[in-house]
Amino acid sequence: MDDTAALLALADRMLWVAALVAAPVLLASLAVGLVVGIIQAATSVNEQTLTFVPKLAVTALVLVLLGGAMLGLIGDFLKDVFVQIAATGR
């Protein structure tokens, strides 16, 4: 029973870490897509690259600015996973 609770706690933490890592990129891309969509609707310009290029640029910028923190979150999570694996001794 203790192994099941530990596994569920680990799965819960894994989902939180995944959400924290993905959220900045997704929210920035969503915001840029919304702004560009509003501009396209107002100007009746329906160019597909007009939405792709700004989203790509903002995604790259977010990854440059927050990539270290994202990697740190993933690294801390993996370190805790390996500590738990070593503690079980299996």
pLDDT of residue 1: 52
Measured distance CA(88)–CA(74) in Å, rounded: 21
With a cut of 90, say whether residue 87 has pLDDT above it: no
Read off the pTM. 0.81
pLDDT at residue 90 in the model: 61
- Residues 6+ away with beta carbon under 8 Å from 31: 58
* pLDDT tens digits, 25-56: 999 999 999 999 999 889 888 887 788 999 99
